Amino acid sequence: MKSLNKLLMGTFFIATFVLGKNLSGNKYENQMFNNINDEIEETYYDNRNPNSNNNRDYTDTLLYDLNWIESDLMNPGDVMVTAFQMEASGILKGVNVPVYDWGDTEGELTVSIHNLSYPYGSDGVMYDQSLVNSSGWLAGYDDDGTGAINLEGEIWNSDAGTCGGGTMIGNATDPLGSEYAEDGGPAGVPSMGLVWPDGFTAYTLNPTNNPGIVGGGGDNWRSLEPYGSEPEVSLGDWIGVVVQNTGTGSVQFQYSDGGNESDPWKSITFYGTDCQGIGGETGWYIQSYIFNYQLAIELSAPLGSVDEYAIPEQFSLYQNYPNPFNPVTTLRYDLPEDAMVNVTIYDMMGRVVKTMINSQQNAGFKSVQWDATNNEGQTVAAGLYLYTIGAGEFRQTKKMVLLK
């Protein structure tokens, strides 16, 4: 069988923060959050609502509030990813991977969290969002040049598929990230873009301790701390919950059609069995389906509020949000001291498009909005742009994509 495999309100996706319910029972081990100090703790549940989220008091759960249906099949060697773009900085605290049905096998799932390069290609431009499902092939590593696609390696595929399923998207790159984890990560966990677990032990689920909804189970919240550090994430980052089938049998998950979450698509899947991807090839595909994975985050500040007297510890330039955008986006930067500040937007030829800031500014958390116009007030063309900041000795540049 081939599968077609919201922090906040955003311009191109909606994530909903849901206040959950107090649920009780005494059958299966699970991780949840208590209502007193918002910490993950051991608890138990019986026949938990399959679409429940958690019992947290605070509005800080990343999830897609969609009509979940069952079920999408994940075969051994496959990897399913649900991606969230951050609208604020924070610290990741927990992860939840509900399973619909383990089937009749001794299954195992390995879960990790990555700072994704997806949805951007190796040129920094977002993948064409018309290329999805059978046409959305990103391939994988092909170190020996034989066309055998692998999840990890050193050399990304550069050829057409060997299974007759089509041509790889241009400028495709590893969607899991652009840099290898400093310490490599636990055995069996993809290292590219890995931010958790960064300890020595991989986090795995199994049908005994984490039964599926069909077996009377439900959510599988797990705090991150026992498996390493709680990673810090920044506004604009794309963070992925990565679930790998490391067992011997197929596992089923809840899913939903991307629908209004399709700009860009929020899921990618790696098909590990030769020629069994939805377009006929092995490797990564952009997906129109979203999987019901969730993250808990401790936000660095209440949404929409900044302490006007707080001073940042270091100079920083953040990824614009939203990105891609049409027609307005926000550029954020931090000044730990008073400085002469210049924020300028350039095209890819290095020509000045618009000077946003060129003045002395006091220390603090700063932001400025760009409305896709140049210094003459004319609307600029869609495409890739650079924005750079100069403040004292600090210099930094980032890319952003304007859509039309």
Is 41's pLDDT higher than 60?
no
Q: How far apart are CA 131 and CA 146, in angstroms?
A: 25
**What topology is assigned to 316-402 in CATH?**
Immunoglobulin-like (2.60.40)
At 185-202, the pLDDT tens digits run 899 999 999 999 998 899
The continuous run of DSSP H or E covering 82 comes out as strand 79-85
| Tens digit of each residue's pLDDT (9 = 90 or more) over 352-395 | 999 999 999 888 878 888 999 999 999 999 999 999 999 999 99
For the chain, the structural domain boundaries read: 28-299, 316-402
> CA 299, CA 241: separation in Å to the nearest integer?
18
pLDDT tens column, 240-281: 999 999 999 999 999 998 766 677 899 999 999 999 999 999
What are the backbone dihedrals phi and psi of residue 31, each rounded to the nearest 5 degrees, phi first?
A: -115, 130
- Find all residues with CB under 8 Å of 130, minimum gap 6, and list them: none
Share of the chain above pLDDT 90, in %: 47
Q: What is the value of pTM for the model shown?
A: 0.70
Cα-Cα-Cα-Cα torsion 70, 26, 245, 101, nearest 10 degrees, comes to -30
